[in-house]
Structures are given as C-alpha cells and as structure tokens.
Amino acid sequence: MISRKELLFQVVLHIVVFLFYSFDRNNPRITWIQVLFFLVYALGVAFITYYLMPKFLYQKKHWRFFGAVALVIIGMVLLEELVLEKIFYPNTRRANVIPGIYYIWFDILPIIAILSGFKFGWDALRKQEQIDALQSTVQESELQFLKSQINPHFLFNNMNNLYSYALEGSSKTPEIILELSGVLRYMLYECKEKFVPLTKEIEQLHNFIKLNKLQIEHRGKIHFDIDHINGNYRIAPLILIVFIENAFKHSQSGQSRDIKIDIRIRQSGATLIFGCKNNHMASQTLDVVAQGIGLQNVQKRLQLLYPDRHKLQIEEGPNSYEVQLTMELEKTETT
C-alpha cells in the first residue's frame, strides 16, 4: 500500500517531469492533449514500478522483468502511434507511423527512466530503513541477552563466597548480604536503560568494591582512585564492574595473602580512562578465569555499543593481570 508520503512524492515528481517535457519556449502553452499523452506514459510507468518491479525485479527474476518492460513500452508506442496520433493529429507528419515510432522513443524512454529510477530509489531507501530498524532490533536483543548473562554470573560468584562465610559462621555475613542485595538491586532494576549516568555507575562500583573488601579482609590492599569525573556524561551499565570482578577473582584464585588490586578511573572531556591491575598466584585455573563468561560478554558489548569509540588492552604477566580501557562516552540528554 502506498503511503501518503510516497503518494505526495510521486505527484510532485510527475508534475515536474510533465512540465519539463511539455514546456515549449516557442509556444509556452500546456494543452489537454499533452496531458492525455503524458497520462499514457504515467500509467505505463505505474504498471512497471508498482507491479512488474515487485513481482519480478525484486524477486530477482531479471529476464522476466526486462521482457515485460519491453512489451509495455512496445504497447505504449503502438497505442500512441496507431490510436492517439491518428485521432488527434490526422493527415500530419506525426500520423506517419514509421517516422513516428522512431521519434517517440526519445519521448517515452527518458520519462520511463526518470519515473522508474526515482521509484527504484524510493524503494531502496525504504528497504534500507527497514534493514537499519531490523539491525537495531537484533543488536538491542543481543545487548539485552549479554546483559542478562552478567547478573547470574555475578550472583553465582558471590553466592559461592557467601556460602563459605556462612559455613565459617563469620560475623560479616549479614553485612555481606546487605551489600550484595544493594548491588543486585542496581543490576536488576536501576540499569535497564542502554546508558546510565556515569556518577551512578561509579557509585555502584564503590559498593561493589566495598562488598569484595569485606571478603578479602586483611589479606591485601585495594586502591580505588577517581579523578575529574563529569556528571554530564552517560555510560553503558555493567561494563567496568566486570573487569573489577575479574580482578578480585584473579587475586583470590589460589592466593590467601598479599592481594593487590589497583583501580583507577579518570575522565578527559568525553573520554573515560579506566585502568585495573591485580596480582595473582601462578595457577592452572588462571586461563579459565581470564576467559570467563563475564569478560567475553563485556568485550562483545563494547563492540556493539562503542564501535570505533573504545580501545581495550589486556596484558597478562606471570603474576599480574592489567586492563586498560578508554572509551568515548555519551553526553547526558538535556530536556
């Protein structure tokens, strides 16, 4: 079905083409006969663009399409020469069939090419809009799927830690549960949007680090430094937290003391610079930790949300693991 926007476009296009081909500087008049002849062309083009193109050209039946177009053009030529010219221009040179057929090609073919070409371009633009909308929908679904995987991954890791503290009867178990519930509340309810305020995300990083500090206790040092954070910017939620969680897992894997984790976040204009470095004991499970679900997901989300606007570097040494991430942030929309 033709939309109102397309109908208006076609009407304006037909008027412009008609005026262009009907205007004669020596006789600047438009007659109803010229209108009638142009209507024949317009009807032929309408049959080509609204029937033959969807039925054959867009179905990749090219030979059928061009054959049908040739028949339509031949039919239009014969109609004009054998019927219309005989009726409106009898006993004139225009009524002479053989020369008339030769000259009419210069009238019909440009009109068909212009009107059909604009219709093809219109359909191409509409198809591209549909493709863009579909890609956006697919990308959004993929992002939601990746984000949904982070929550169970985070919960699974922390529930294991909480279980071990409960078995030991640690007095910090209630405090850990309280901090854990706060972080989960943010993950489940407050970061459903594609982007969240940067200050809100960093606040949750504070809570998350505090939660993990309770588990490390006096077995190491955690350094968290923030500098020049601008509250007018937004960030995709649950990006940085995955790297921090990864650092805590590294440090605690096979290591019971001298844990060192250094986390630094600073902002320069729209660029956020994030660094996270941790030590770890040599362990055969390190590769499994480094290539966990959460890390793979966040790398995929960065590719989808910040294409060509981020740089991620991961350096792994015998006893250290370092992440450097720079990303161009979205500015907060003003209302």
pLDDT of 293: 58
Q: Contact, 203 vs 182, CB < 8 A?
A: no
Can you point out the beta strands (E) in 101-256?
196-197, 220-227, 233-235
pLDDT of 63: 92
Report the predicted TM-score, pTM, of the whole model to 2 decimal places: 0.56
Tens-place pLDDT, residues 66-111? 999 989 888 888 887 777 777 776 665 454 545 555 556 667 888 8
Q: Contact, 277 vs 308, CB < 8 A?
A: no
Q: What letter does residue 80 receive in the DSSP assignment?
A: I
Q: Contact, 298 vs 239, CB < 8 A?
A: yes
CA 257 to each of CA 75, 173, 245, 279: distance values in angstroms, whole numbers, following the listed order: 90, 20, 18, 11
- What tokens appear for 296 in the block? 């793979």
pLDDT of 290: 42
Length of the chain: 335
What sign has the CA pseudo-torsion 296, 297, 302, 303? Answer: positive
pLDDT of 286: 43
pLDDT of 147: 57
Tens-place pLDDT, residues 228-251? 888 889 998 888 988 888 888 777
pLDDT of 294: 65
CA dist 190 and 196 (Å) reads: 9
CA dist 223 and 292 (Å) reads: 24
CA dist 44 and 23 (Å) reads: 21
Burial category of 225 from C-beta neighbours within 10 Å (exposed 0-12, middle 13-18, buried 19 and up):
exposed
Mean pLDDT, rounded, of the chain = 79
- What tokens appear for 118 in the block? 């604009």
- What tokens appear for 191 in the block? 């970061």
CA dist 137 and 10 (Å) reads: 30
Parts of the chain with a pLDDT under 50: 93, 95, 97, 284-291
Q: Contact, 217 vs 242, CB < 8 A?
A: no
CA dist 108 and 41 (Å) reads: 7
